Amino acid sequence: MSHVITGGAIVGGVCGQPITHSMSPVIHNAWIAAAGLDAAYVPFAPAAERFETFVDGLRGGAMRGLNVTIPFKERALAVADTASDLARMAGAANLLMFGEDGRVHADNTDGPGLLGAIAIQAPSFDVTTAPVVILGAGGAARGAVAALLLAGAPRIAVVNRTVARAQELADTFGEKVVAKGEDALPALLPEAGLIINATSLGLGGGAGPAADLTLTPNTAVVMDMVYKPLRTEFLRRAEAAGRLTVDGLEMLLRQAMPTFEAIYGQAPSPSVDVRALALKRLGEV
């Protein structure tokens, strides 16, 4: 089946630096082809100092919606005219929507992606009752805190090597979020219902965070936002301890679903096995 793009096509895309290994074009174009849409999803890697100029050039009709990834997510929020509550709380946007009037709206579908991945891979987990431990205090951690708070998480401990950075993050969220150093883990883990690795540790196959997951309750859920490799050392240790795990690839796929709907006006077809497609790209099968 050939996929025809006409002058009336809906154009979406993704912008990051670098962008070569982004999975998003593969995922969105597979959904576009399956739906037979007159549409395209295109990768962009503008020079870092030209990000704002690039986005300004898309105002008023060039593009319907643009995913934004590392290192532009914070600047994407700043360049927008309006923003969703989640994007504001996360301090970052992974989706810019372009209105016909030239205005840009910032949204964040990483949050729904995180919650969607948990709902699929750990369906028994109740986000409104369990204390959460988040490892890391960068942009990924901030996004996770925002999504979990909006979903009703009662208590979140942000644990970071650099405690001052965790404190800075916690201070912006109020009393439900506390900042801790790594030395607090032995006390936090036995109480935790959900533990999320939001550090860059484990990326590319290295050792994950040092947290001793055998200290967690049997019912605890362990999630890794890193998805290269799919089964990180952190998730392997969680599995060895008998814990239910949630992988970062599912989060990536679940953020792509509401993104696709926002840009192309319809839900992606469930008939496309995007997880299998992504696993193939990752060299996991």
* 36 belongs to an annotated ligand binding site: no
How would you write the chain as a 3-class SS string?
Answer: CCCCCCCCCEEEEEECCCCCCCCHHHHHHHHHHHHCCCEEEEEECCCHHHHHHHHHHCCCCCCCEEEECCCCHHHHHHHCCEECHHHHHHCCCCEEEECCCCCEEEECCHHHHHHHHHHHHCCCCCCCCCCEEEECCCHHHHHHHHHHHHCCCCCEEEECCCHHHHHHHHHCCCCCEEEECHHHHHHHHHHCCEEEECCCCCHHHCCCCCCCHHHCCCCCEEEECCCCCCCCHHHHHHHHCCCEEECHHHHHHHHHHHHHHHHHCCCCCCCCCHHHHHHHHCCCC
* 2 belongs to an annotated ligand binding site: no
Residue from 73, 180, 228, 280 carrying the catalytic annotation: 73
CB-nearer residue toward ligand ATR: 12 or 136: 136
* 165 belongs to an annotated ligand binding site: yes
CB-nearer residue toward ligand ATR: 24 or 98: 24
* 1 belongs to an annotated ligand binding site: no
Q: Provide the minimum distance between the beta carbon of 135 and ligand ATR in the complex, in angstroms, as a whole number.
A: 8
Residues that bind ligand ATR (CB under 6 A): 136-141, 160-162, 165, 199-201
- Closest residue to ligand ATR, judged by C-beta, is 138
Question: Which residues are CB-neighbours of 75 under 8 A, at least 6 positions away?
Answer: 51, 52
CB-nearer residue toward ligand ATR: 232 or 263: 232
CB-nearer residue toward ligand ATR: 58 or 159: 159
For the question of residue 73 being annotated catalytic, the response is yes
CB-nearer residue toward ligand ATR: 152 or 186: 186
Q: Provide the minimum distance between the beta carbon of 138 and ligand ATR in the complex, in angstroms, as a whole number.
A: 2
* 139 belongs to an annotated ligand binding site: yes
Q: Provide the minimum distance between the beta carbon of 225 and ligand ATR in the complex, in angstroms, as a whole number.
A: 8
What distances in angstroms separate CA 279 from CA 31, 107, 201, one per listed residue?
16, 27, 21
Q: Provide the minimum distance between the beta carbon of 161 and ligand ATR in the complex, in angstroms, as a whole number.
A: 3
Q: Provide the minimum distance between the beta carbon of 71 and ligand ATR in the complex, in angstroms, as a whole number.
A: 8
Q: Residue with structure tokens 């934004």?
A: 68
* 237 belongs to an annotated ligand binding site: no
Which residues contribute to the annotated binding site for NADP(+)?
85, 136-140, 160-165, 225, 248
Query: Active-site positions?
Result: 73
Q: Which residues are annotated as a binding site for shikimate?
A: 22-24, 69, 94, 110, 227, 255
Residues making up the binding site: 22-24, 69, 85, 94, 110, 136-140, 160-165, 225, 227, 248, 255
